[in-house]
A and B are shown apart, each in its own frame.
Chain A
């Protein structure tokens, strides 16, 4: 099915563990984004990517790592999860010329 999908939808992990959130889009969009959403903060940009092998830091990159070896995938890794990283994470994509961005369904991550 065409679209943008995130997995898992829900994840509970322990402090200090590494966890990877997956994002896959089928449109071959150039740009992909990772946001976290917390009450009172709206959506904050973690990392974004303009193309395969090109990534840039956003507003809150500390504690996160991204990669983009293929255009369609943009995984987000928390190298050593902390409780402050408990949040809802959204992935988004948009084309170079198509300016509308499309969002995945989100991943609710709880760090205990």
Chain B
């Protein structure tokens, strides 16, 4: 059965610093998603990665996918307070989209 693991689960960053969130998964898939969730809110799609080597960037966030290593990363560049949220990766192996436990990011001034 597909397992999706994220780390770290909690991340406290200083503004202006860089950091990476990791997402590992257990079975073959070439479809990976990153979502953001603010407290008490629904999930907002950030990135959809559909092939090995895919890289997408939006503002201070950049996501990449290595299907051979079964690994995706979400890199945060020069963090700002507005990025504070919980970030989830999700993997779609059989059209059933399974989520990791999430990374709660707090960006401090």
Number of interface residues of B (CB under 8 A): 22
Specify the main secondary structure of chain B where it touches its partner: loop
* Complex CA distance for A52 and B97, rounded to whole angstroms: 18
Number of A-B contacts (CB under 8 A): 53
Residues facing A in B59-81 (CB within 8 A) are none
Residues facing A in B83-109 (CB within 8 A) are 88, 90, 92, 95-102
Contact of A106 among B42, B48, B100 (CB under 8 A): B42
Contacts of A105 in B (CB 8 A): 41-42
Does the CB pair A101–B45 fall under 8 Å?
yes
Residues facing B in A19-49 (CB within 8 A) are 31, 33, 35, 40-45, 48
Q: List 16 A-B contacts (CB under 8 A).
A: A33-B96, A40-B101, A41-B101, A42-B99, A42-B101, A43-B90, A45-B98, A48-B96, A48-B97, A90-B43, A99-B31, A99-B92, A100-B45, A101-B90, A101-B97, A106-B42
